[in-house]
Amino acid sequence: MSDVNLKFGKRIKELRLRQNISQEELAFRCHLSKNYISDVERGTRNITLKVVEKFSYGLKVPMHSLFQFQDVHDESINN
């Protein structure tokens, strides 16, 4: 399990909960299965850019906002 997969999954779940929608509703909006959504949120899926685009569409947010999560490693590189 990759650290970035965990962070991305946490971000997807955060955005989904902010919109007060279920995994099933997000799956419908993204044209993915509920199990796939669950796997992504748990960080157990290694997704493609096409799936990132589907999440962007389903959550009605720009793609770059899906990657706005705290990354301690990136901060240490910039210092």
Q: Report the CATH number at residue 32.
A: 1.10.260.40
Number of Cα atoms under 13 Å in the Cβ half of residue 76: 3
Q: Which pair of tokens denotes residue 37?
A: 């959504």
Q: How do residues 40-58 score in pLDDT, each as one tens digit?
A: 999 999 999 999 999 999 9
Regions in the chain scoring below 50 on pLDDT: 75-79
Question: Residues 6 or more apart from 3 whose CB is under 8 A from it?
Answer: none
Q: Is there a domain that residue 41 lies in?
A: yes
Q: What is the pLDDT of residue 69?
A: 82
- Tell me if 43 sits within 8 A of 2, measured CB to CB: yes
Q: What is the pLDDT of residue 2?
A: 74
Q: How far is C-alpha 40 from the geometric centre of its chain's CA atoms?
A: 7
Q: Which domain holds residue 13?
A: 3-74
Per the structure, the count of domains in the chain is 1
Q: What is the pLDDT of residue 43?
A: 95
